[in-house]
Amino acid sequence: MDYRDSGVDIAAGNETVRRIKSIAKATFTSGVLSDIGSFGGLFQIDRERYREPVLVSSADGVGTKLKVAFMTGRHDTVGADLVNHCVNDILVQGADPLFFLDYLATGRLSPDVAEQVVSGVARGCRENGCALLGGETAEMPGFYADGEYDIAGFIVGIVEKSSVIDGRAIVSGDVLIGLPSAGLHTNGYSLARRVLFESAGFTADTFVPEIGATLGDALLAPHRSYLGAMRPLLAQRLVKGMAHITGGGITENLPRVLPEGTSARIDVRAWDIPPLFRLIQQRGKVSTDEMFRAFNMGIGLIAVAAPNSVDDAIDLLERTGERPVSLGHVIPGDRDTLYI
């Protein structure tokens, strides 16, 4: 017997690495000092740019959105989802991304599928200006169902210590500015799949007139990166805090950046909740409270600004092509109890 008899194809692994190598190298920035294939990735920090550099790191996955990728046979978007999610997670603390690492695990390695996934990762890295410094591709027979895989991402960014965004300066009266999402992003898919596919009986190819797309297209809409939109506001110090609206929705994520003694009042009439969320709520008879806890409900990021900075912040956002929404205000109260 050999390794291939046990389910691990070393030749397929080598072919995957060969394809990935050029894809990853196309994302390299000036700080990269190593090549793909090294035991560890080397990255040099620009010490002339930062007096007191602070590294900011995060790790995440795509969750069961991957199930939709399996259903449709489309694997070129979930990698970008992964990068953008991680970029937003460090952005809310004021950080610029430096480099990214990915982990792809599957039961039987398909170089074609791996190439599609990593191409999406590389595209996300290029669009956000960070290097795909390395990663791991694991073939684990018997661990994953045939044709399925899982991916995770790890990001490291940097921010000047004096520019760290931590929400400490937020006070009652500050204004909440919301930026639109592009759909479910990467959260709530277990509930969405149960409602739409198991309960309603739809398929990924079902065209839904109210959303103007097939469910497959709507559910695979990429997770947005807000880095480009928020950079001008960070440069002018117009933001006191930011919340990336991921798992837990507005209900769970906004309190993470509010200081003790503050809460928030959000006017849900301030924006139009996208039809996809309404479809899930109606078909699944999901309560409004549960919807706001499971999904982003059309708002992917919330920024907190002082009242005298709001007009400038909104103007800068609109110049980048954003459609910012004034969602409400910070109020005195218990930060874990929002008023939505």
- The predicted-structure confidence for 262-296, as pLDDT tens digits, reads as follows 999 999 999 999 999 999 999 999 999 999 999 99
Confidence of residue 8 (pLDDT cuts 50, 70, 90): low
* pLDDT for the residue numbered 146: 87
9 has a pLDDT exceeding 80: no
Tell me phi and psi for residue 88, to 5 degrees: -65, -35
- Residue-wise burial string across 16-30, b where 16 or more C-beta atoms lie within 10 A, e elsewhere: beebbeebbeebbee
Over range 247-276, report the average pLDDT: 96
* pLDDT for the residue numbered 7: 62
Q: Tell me, yes or no, whether 169 lies in a domain.
A: no
Alpha-carbon 207 to chain mean position: 26
189 has a pLDDT exceeding 60: yes
75 has a pLDDT exceeding 70: yes
* pLDDT for the residue numbered 14: 77
- Helix then strand then coil, % of the chain, to nearest 5: 40, 25, 40
Structure tokens at 169: 């300066």
Q: Tell me, yes or no, whether 340 lies in a domain.
A: no
Query: How far is it, in rounded angstroms, from Cα 166 to Cα 76?
Result: 34
Q: Tell me, yes or no, whether 67 lies in a domain.
A: yes
* pLDDT for the residue numbered 81: 97
Q: Tell me, yes or no, whether 273 lies in a domain.
A: yes
6 has a pLDDT exceeding 80: no
* pLDDT for the residue numbered 17: 79
114 and 183 in a single domain? The answer is no
**Which of the listed residues 143, 163, 183 is the one where a domain comes to its end?**
163
220 and 100 in a single domain? The answer is no
Residue 31 · residue 128 · CB < 8 Å = no
Query: DSSP state, 162?
Result: G
Q: Tell me, yes or no, whether 170 lies in a domain.
A: no
**Which of the listed residues 140, 163, 186 is the one where a domain comes to its end?**
163
268 and 187 in a single domain? The answer is yes
Q: Tell me, yes or no, whether 168 lies in a domain.
A: no
9 and 158 in a single domain? The answer is yes
Q: Tell me, yes or no, whether 119 lies in a domain.
A: yes
Least confident residue range of 32-36, 102-106, 227-231, 320-324: 32-36
Query: How far is it, in rounded angstroms, from Cα 304 to Cα 79?
Result: 29
**Secondary structure class of 140 (helix, strand, coil):** coil
Query: How far is it, in rounded angstroms, from Cα 40 to Cα 1?
Result: 32
81 and 214 in a single domain? The answer is no
Q: Tell me, yes or no, whether 337 lies in a domain.
A: no
**Which of the listed residues 120, 136, 163 is the one where a domain comes to its end?**
163
5 has a pLDDT exceeding 60: no
Q: Which domain holds residue 145?
A: 3-163
99 and 206 in a single domain? The answer is no
Torsion of CA 182, 185, 188, 190, to 10 degrees: 110
